[in-house]
Amino acid sequence: MQRTIKKIGVLTSGGDAPGMNAAIRSVVRTCAYHNIKCYGIYRGYEGIIDGDFVEMGPRSVKGLINKGGTMLKSARSKTFRTKEGRQLAHDNLIKAGIEALVVIGGDGSFTGSMVFNEEYNFPVMGIPGTIDNDIFGTSHTLGYDTALNTVVEVIDKIRDTASSHNRLFFVEVMGRDAGHIALNVGIGAGAEEILIPEEDLGLERLLESLRRSKQSGKSSSIVVVAEGDKIGKNVFELKDYVEENMTEYEVRVSVLGHMQRGGPPSCFDRVLASRMGVKAVESLLEGKSNYMVGIKNDVMDLTPFDQAVKGKSKINKELLRVSDIMST
């Protein structure tokens, strides 16, 4: 089914991620290519409720592809969680003549879109923007690749100081529910151990592995820990535990925090954002709604919001084995 749409709104919602700007640029330019008006909506759903819209054309997104963050700003909107808030949002969209939305955000943002679509049958398409890569229906979310590169670079630097002082470093990376970042940067930066939310490797195994690495002549060690690691201890508790049990180690902790979300997007994320923007707008024009755009085996794909939200993005177990072998 073809749909006649004359105005599309685009917003960014939830946590920001590198590549969101490139996705906004892509949505705006795809709209221009198809002679559709495009409105940028500031501060996610909060901006719909406030009627904070700006008309955007191909030139208003110049110089944007390489910028981190989101020029439309992001927000978490409590009001949009209420029926009254969504009524106000719908009224404002109708008043502005906006007939469809592209929502760039995480699973929470897609849940909001789904609820809105159920209530008003309002056409919505989602683009997954989050560094955690924890969304079902796509092998990569926007910002994930950039975050991996950012974190690997930082751990390389930490290793310089770790090896100069014969120290053990626990490095905490983002990932409350998903270990994708930890697992990949752990292998990429040559970590001795990687602790993730999906697998409980056990404290004894951690000590064993550190003892082995000491015996094998390694002078410094890096352990990468995801925020939500299954052992259930935070990095500072892990430091205390290892210092109590292995007095030969001088342990330091580095919590990387929000810097992992910043910086210019990698080439991969810029290309992915461009492809996702095109797919999102063209899918709306084809009459589709309530889907998230994703990429699988380098082919663009659509996943219904409910599956994207409920499904679990699984870690690649092969990587666990590779990491084990590499720490020999």
Return residues touching ligand ATP (CB under 6 A): 13-15, 45, 76-77, 80-81, 105-109, 111-112, 115, 130
Distance CA 239, CA 235 (A): 6
Token couple for 18: 């590198």
Is residue 308 marked as binding? no
Q: Single out the catalytic residue among 132, 145, 229, 269.
A: 132
Query: For residues 132 and 138, what is the distance between their CA atoms, to the nearest angstrom?
Result: 12
Nearer to ligand ATP, 53 or 169 (CB): 53
Give whichever of 81 and 288 is closer to ligand ATP, judged by the CB atom.
81
Is the four-CA dihedral 274, 275, 280, 284 of positive or negative sign?
positive
263, containing H or E segment: none
43 annotated ligand-binding residue: no
CB of 132 to ligand ATP, least distance (A): 7
Pairing type for strands 221-226 and 167-173 reads: parallel
Does 134 carry a binding-site annotation?
Answer: no
74 annotated as belonging to a binding site for a ligand: no
Exposure b/e, 79-117, CB count within 10 A at least 16 = b: ebeeeebbebbbebbeebebbbbbbbbbbebbbbbbebb
H/E stretch holding 199 reads: none
Minimum gap (Å) between residue 148 Cβ and ligand ATP? 17
Report the nearest approach of ligand ATP to the CB of residue 91 (Å). Answer: 16
CB of 48 to ligand ATP, least distance (A): 10
Q: Is 52 a catalytic residue?
A: no
Binding site, by residue number, is 15, 25-29, 76-77, 106-109, 130-132, 159, 167, 174-176, 190-192, 218-220, 227, 252, 258-261
Annotated binding site for ADP: 25-29, 159, 190-192, 218-220
Catalytic annotation, residues: 132
Per the annotation, where are the binding residues for Mg(2+)? 107
